[in-house]
Amino acid sequence: MDKLELFDGSLPVEEITNSWYNEFKNLNYGAIITFVGVVRDEGNIQGLSFDIYEPILKSWFEAWQKKANEKNAIVLMAHSRGDVLNHESSYIAAVCSPKRRVALEMIDEFVEDFKANAPIWKYDIINGNRVYAEDRSTPIFGAGILN
C-alpha cells in the first residue's frame, strides 16, 4: 500500500479510512488517529480546486515518514487534485503508532506542517471558475525566481 495517495476530485473518505484501518489494525499499533479535512461552504464559493507539485510533495512526505519511523510510527496521507465541491473531502491524514500520545502529537504536527509547507496550490471555485486563493496561501520556503 502506498502511504501517500493522490486522487482526482473529492476523496472517497470511507474507502480510504477503512482500507487504512484494515491494513494497519493487526500490526500492533495501539492508536490509529485520522484527520479528515472537509471543504467549507463560505465566501460564496462552490468548492476548492488544487494543483500539486508531486516531486516536492513526495520529498516532504518521505521526510515525515522518516520522522515517524524514528518513533515507531507511520504517517498516511490522501489528497485531491482538481476540483472538490463544498462538503466533500480534499485531505485525509493519519498516524499509526503503538502509543496514543505519539499519534496524537504527531497528527497535530503533521497537519500543521502540511498546511504551511506542502506544495499544493489552492483555488476557490467561484461561478465555475478557478480563482487563486492568495489570501489563504503560504509561500513555500525556498520558492521563487532563481538568479
Split the chain (147 residues) into runs of 10 and give each run's mean pLDDT. 92 97 94 97 94 95 97 97 98 97 97 94 94 71 45
- What 3-state class would DSSP assign to 24? helix
The reported pTM is 0.89
Q: What is the 3-state secondary structure (H, E, C) of 82-143?
A: EEEECCCEEEEEEEEECCHHHHHHHHHHHHHHHHHHCCEEEEEEECCEEEECHHHCCCCCCC
pLDDT at 2: 82
The cell numbers describing 75, all together, are: 504517517
